[in-house]
Structure 1
Amino acid sequence: MARPLGINAVMAAAVETTYGQTPAANFFKLPFVSHGLGEEQPLLEDDQLGFGREGLDPTYDVITNDGDITVPVDLRAIGFWLRQTFGAPVTTGPAAGKYTHTFSSGAPSLPSTSVEFGNPDMPIYSAHYGAVVNQLKIAMARSGMLNAALSMIAQGETNPANVSAAGALTALQGPRFAQATGSIEIDDVVAASVVSADIGYSNNLDKVEVIRADGRIGGVDPGVARASGTVNTRFTDRALYDKARGKVPVKLKFGWAMDGGYSLIFTLPRVFLPKPKRTITGPKGIMAAFNWQASGAVAAQLTVALTNDVASYV
């Protein structure tokens, strides 16, 4: 029997029609960087008295299956995860062979996913069902690989099997967007002094912790949608600093592009900036960090526009 290696691992995912029920077909083969999903069931120490100092058998507690999946921000597969984070997009096109998929925050209900991880070396396969995206986070930098971290809450995991239950897979993968092509706009003006940034979105899922014989949750309910993050700047002028001091909301736009007119753009029309410190830690440039929060008081606090060659994510 071969030792299973991460390089040979396969991830397959499908949109569930009914929460917690794994579909029999329509699975996509998707790229991933790492994953931390998996059922856990802790033990409770026995509290009975009267049988001496030697403890009695422990009792199994409830089952949890929470964890992160890190995926590349690429041209095609990222659209699947955006759909699972925000719900189905509004798609327009084709225009010159390209489609634009617009995802918006604050959907009243969220889709669930069945995600199977397998390794043919052993072989071993298991599916995590009832998985819903709780948080999405993307870090921007001047260089490096561009990845998205998805924090998920799943209902359960199937018993390990020797063969995949996903059936025929449709590959959904494309070239990656590069950190080097990223840009940030503040009030529709390209920001030249941003050193790093991150974009975070949370569905604030609430676990439905009902009493069940199998010890699993009954589902998840979406809470208040929150978009937040940080922008770290080299202190070169007072424009952003003055807006923070004046408590004036700004429009933020984070985006990446590639040849052929393809792009991925996050737009936050109403963002509030806290007054930051201007710390001096040495002879080099002075930095200012803005821990921003978005508001949905006027419109959707976050929209994501993905322009690619995929006709539909519904």
Structure 2
Amino acid sequence: MARAQGARALMALAFETIYGTPPVSGYTQMPFASTSLAAAQPLLSPELLGYGRDPQAPMQDAITTDGDVVVPIDAEGFGFWLKAAFGDPVTTGTGPYTHEFRSGGWTLPSMSIEVGMPEVPRFAMYSGCVLDQLSWQMQRSGLLTAKAALVAQGETVDTLSNAGTPAALTLTRFGHFNGAIKRDAVALGNIVSADLTYANNLDRIETIRSDAKIDGADPSIASLTGKIDVRFADSTLVTQAINGTAAELEFSYALGSGESLTVTAHAVYLPRPRIEVQGPQGVQASFDWQAALDATAGRMCTVVLVNNTGAY
């Protein structure tokens, strides 16, 4: 008897034309490290009295379908998750291509994602997937991955794949050592680590339906937040925090072969941090930053991905 193994798991993704309706073709095989995307239906304990101390049978509650997907930050596949987070990019070039994703759009695309376990067999299709959050950490070493938090409409399980034969991607990963951080176009030194989280803050449309599915997930006020841990070497960031002024932060990765990923937060505000001496080691300061709309750029952030994929 075959048993499910994560090493054999597959994931296929396609953008939907109609929310909640899986496309019949056009799927792409996606690289991923782990996923918690699934449907869950809790039980409601009975509240009735008069039947003795032993309870009556529980009742099923509403179905919730959501979860996270941990994915590599790579030059080709990461564009699908950026499109899910920001909407369609503005693409220029004839190869390499430059894809510019902009915050502030009112319409987000929905996706159908199939997670397959061929040895069982079990193929779960999650339709109406909308991206709620996209986050990752920059540091000196280790594997560079991002976490995509999704809200889906529902789950359909089959013994055969409904994604056909997904197109394969060329995996070209960025590494932590390919990263750089700039403040107002000047390299920012003494950074120990940095966290980034872009959130669409989805509002689930939970209406009464016979199929227990949601009607949709609408984006509300977006946010771009994070944390910077720095070795305390000068007062540049502290002065900015005290003055309450904004600065542009740029987080980027670049490969020698020409692929690059650049996230620009156009107006970042810093809180005044606690500067503590906790021992003989170097003194560190942490800034929990927040980005806001920049009047000059006309948006909160811009993400530019340069790769060899013509369109998303």
Residue of structure 2 aligned with 1:187, choices 150, 168, 184: 184
- The reply on whether 1:41 has 2:38 as its aligned counterpart is no
Determine the C-alpha separation between the residues in 1 that align with 2:48 and 2:243: 62
Letter in 1 for 2:172: P
Tell me the secondary structure at the aligned position of residue 171 of structure 1: coil
String of CA shifts for 1:60-93, please: whole Å, max 9, x gaps.
0000012110000001000011111110000010
1:95-244 correspondence to structure 2 within 5 Å: 97-159=95-157, 161-244=158-241
Partner letter of residue 85 of structure 1? A
Displacement, 1:297? Answer: 4.4
Q: Deviations over 1:247-281 (max 9, x none)?
A: 11010000001012210000011110111111111
User: How far apart, in 2, do the equivalents of 1:35 and 1:236 lie?
Assistant: 40
Deviation at 1:244, TM superposition (A): 1.1
Residue 6 of structure 2 corresponds to which residue in structure 1? Answer: 6
For 2:308, the equivalent position in structure 1 comes to 309
Q: CA deviation at 1:48?
A: 2.0
Partner Cα separation in structure 2 for residue 128 and residue 311 of structure 1: 26
CA deviation map 1:289-314 (0-9, x unaligned): 1110001141211110000000111x
Partners of 1:174 and 1:78 in 2: CA distance: 10
Structure 2 counterpart of 1:281:
278
Moved more, 212-221 or 34-43: 212-221
CA–CA distance in structure 2, aligned partners of residues 7 and 104 of structure 1: 35
CA offset at residue 49 of structure 1? 2.3
Identical positions, percent = 44
- Paired AA for residue 60 in structure 1: Q
Which structure 1 segments of 5+ residues have no match? Answer: none
| Unaligned ranges ≥5, structure 2 | none
Match of 1:272 in 2: 269
Q: Is the 8 A contact 1:61 1:215 kept in 2?
A: no
1:106 Cα offset (Å): 1.4
Name whichever of 85-94 and 173-182 sits farther off: 173-182
Contact 1:197 1:232 in 2 (8 A): yes
Give the Cα–Cα distance (whole angstroms) in 1 for the partners of residues 205 and 264 of structure 2: 32
The one-letter code of the counterpart of 1:120 is P
Letter matched to residue 246 of structure 2: P
The equivalent of 2:15 in structure 1 is 15
Letter in 2 for 1:35: T
CA contact (8 A) 1:206 1:223 kept: yes
Whether the 8 Å CA contact 2:266–2:294 is kept in 1: the answer is no
Alignment partners' CA distance in 1, 2:262 and 2:171:
17
Shift, 1:221, TM fit: 1.1
Query: TM-score, normalized by length of structure 2?
Result: 0.97
How many angstroms apart in 2 are the aligned matches of 1:290 and 1:267? 17
Query: 2:227·2:288 contact (CA, 8 Å) conserved in 1?
Result: yes
Q: Distance in 2 between matches of 1:56 and 1:198?
A: 48
